[in-house]
Amino acid sequence: MSRRTTAPTQPWLKPGVFAGAIVPLLALLVRARGGDLGANPIAEALNELGLMALVFLLASLACTPLKALFGWVWPIRLRRMLGLFAFFYAFLHALTYAALDQRWNLRAVLTDVTKRGFIALGFVAFLLLSPLAATSSAFAVRRLGFVRWKRLHRLTYVAGVLAVLHFLWRVKLDLSEPLVYSFTLALLFVARLFAGPSAFRSPRA
């Protein structure tokens, strides 16, 4: 009887989200194999991987405000997974840039980071996501202590701002898409303010 009351609801939720999160990568690989990435396949792959990293980063940031404002518990169960997928796609984005675009020319990469502003922003955002991914487990929360863990993971918002600016700076003509993500991030900041600090206590996902 007690097992039924404590068992997690919606057992399909995490597997379903995991499968859905892999679909964009599989679709990209299929298109790459079929030569359907356009005239500049590396640039297309970079754009799609970077966009998916931003989508999952904003989705992870939306989980706690959704719980705080609407009382939904299920987004909290997805928060860690969404954050890890944000890092995963950001890693693939960076790897594609270094390996395929720059062919492991570290001097060229360093030159881009120091001389091209939008690449510098993306690089810093990726650096911030790395320790967040490494400390996403419950063990890391216990090891760091909740106060220090929470302080560290506030950098997720900083990474989100940098990622949105990276996108805005990267696009030269039609800014409508990056502006949508900028507006979404702004709404998440507003939601956090309205929800109040007491709504953001639990580190569990």
Spatial contact of 28 and 43, defined as CB atoms under 8 Å apart: no
Predicted confidence at residue 175, as pLDDT, reads: 87
Q: List, for the chain, all residue ranges whose pLDDT scores fall below the cut of 50.
A: 1-7, 200, 202-205
47-58 per-position pLDDT tens digit: 999 999 999 999
Predicted confidence at residue 59, as pLDDT, reads: 95
pTM summary value: 0.88
Predicted confidence at residue 191, as pLDDT, reads: 85
Secondary structure class of 135 (helix, strand, coil): coil
- The per-type count for the chain, helices as H runs and strands as E runs, is 10, 0
The DSSP output letter for 98 is I
Predicted confidence at residue 4, as pLDDT, reads: 43
Predicted confidence at residue 2, as pLDDT, reads: 41
Distances from the Cα of 163 to the Cαs of 50, 86, 124, 168, 182, in angstroms? 9, 11, 9, 9, 10
Predicted confidence at residue 203, as pLDDT, reads: 44
Separation of alpha carbons 164 and 185, rounded Å: 8
